[in-house]
A = this chain, B = another copy of it.
Amino acid sequence: MRIEDLVAQIKKKKSFLCVGLDTDLEKIPSHLLDEEDPIFAFNKAIIDATHNYCVAYKPNIAFYEAYGVKGWEALEKTIAYLNKNYPEQFTIADAKRGDIGNTSTRYAKAFFEELNFDSITIAPYMGKDSVEPFLEFEDKYAILLALTSNQGAFDFQSKKMEGSELYKHVIRVSKSYDNSDRLMYVVGATKAEYIGEIRKVIPESFLLVPGVGAQGGNLQEVCAHGLTKNVGLLVNSSRGIIYASKRTDFAETAAKKASEIQQLMAVELARLSE
């Protein structure tokens, strides 16, 4: 998907919501466990119910790998269902991969070609030749971990390297990579006050912002620091939407929660055109 098409979707739906599909058999409604593929059944119901209120879906791959071959099958069905029925949705494989060059190429093929995701999250620790293989695919995006939403972000990411915090150094260096226009960045909503600083380095790039809701991040604060003329934000919510109800009304409750966030986002977007 081209960035322009993502921005057009955001403006049309007045939403920059990404729904995180962190599907966990211990948390989904118990009546779904009788289905042949409970993970896919849950995802399909959530997607059908929420697609009008969001512009992106982000399965975290850990939740699928935890179930082995069955998990991988559910992931394949989920992305195929999205690409067939809702091709306007931006899809993110939250995989946090990264390896030496020829191996990163393998991961890129797995997620961009085999599964046909639009983007994948990438860990930057191994540097340029671990990231660039993901940037060779047209209309595909690598979303680099910059400043993550967890407490451990303060172990290394916020510590200084060559005069600036590691996460800023990562962002700055990554701008010199080949095809760096295909980079987006993960910045946790729990670190909203840092987004202003980040915007000085990358005024235009899209940020994927997890941590609104369950992890305590605040949408208005993220928008105050992060919104750009072309929006530049995808804000993710997982648990707050998909596990809002554990009963048979789970899908409509998820839709209600997604709709509530969408309405808050519409207010923020309206300020942009003022």
- Which residues of A are at the interface with B, using a C-beta cutoff of 8 A? 22, 60, 62-63, 65-69, 71-73, 76, 96-101, 103-104, 106-107, 109-110, 114-115, 123-131, 145, 148-157, 159-162, 166, 169-170, 173
A186: min CB distance to chain B, Å: 10
**Please, which residues of chain B bring their CB within 8 A of the CB of A162?**
159-160
Most B-side CB within 10 Å, residue of A22, A68, A73, A109: A68
Does B62 contact A99, Cβ atoms closer than 8 Å? yes
**Please, which residues of chain B bring their CB within 8 A of the CB of A96?**
97-99, 123, 126
A100: min CB distance to chain B, Å: 4
Q: How many copies does the complex hold?
A: 2
Does A63 contact B103, Cβ atoms closer than 8 Å? yes
A-B contact pairs, 25 of them (CB 8 A): A22-B103, A62-B97, A65-B110, A66-B114, A68-B72, A68-B115, A69-B72, A72-B72, A100-B149, A101-B150, A124-B156, A125-B125, A125-B145, A126-B150, A126-B153, A126-B157, A127-B151, A127-B152, A127-B157, A128-B151, A129-B152, A130-B152, A156-B166, A156-B169, A156-B170
Does A60 contact B114, Cβ atoms closer than 8 Å? no
Does A109 contact B66, Cβ atoms closer than 8 Å? yes
**How far is B115's CA from A73's CA once the two chains are assembled, in angstroms?**
16
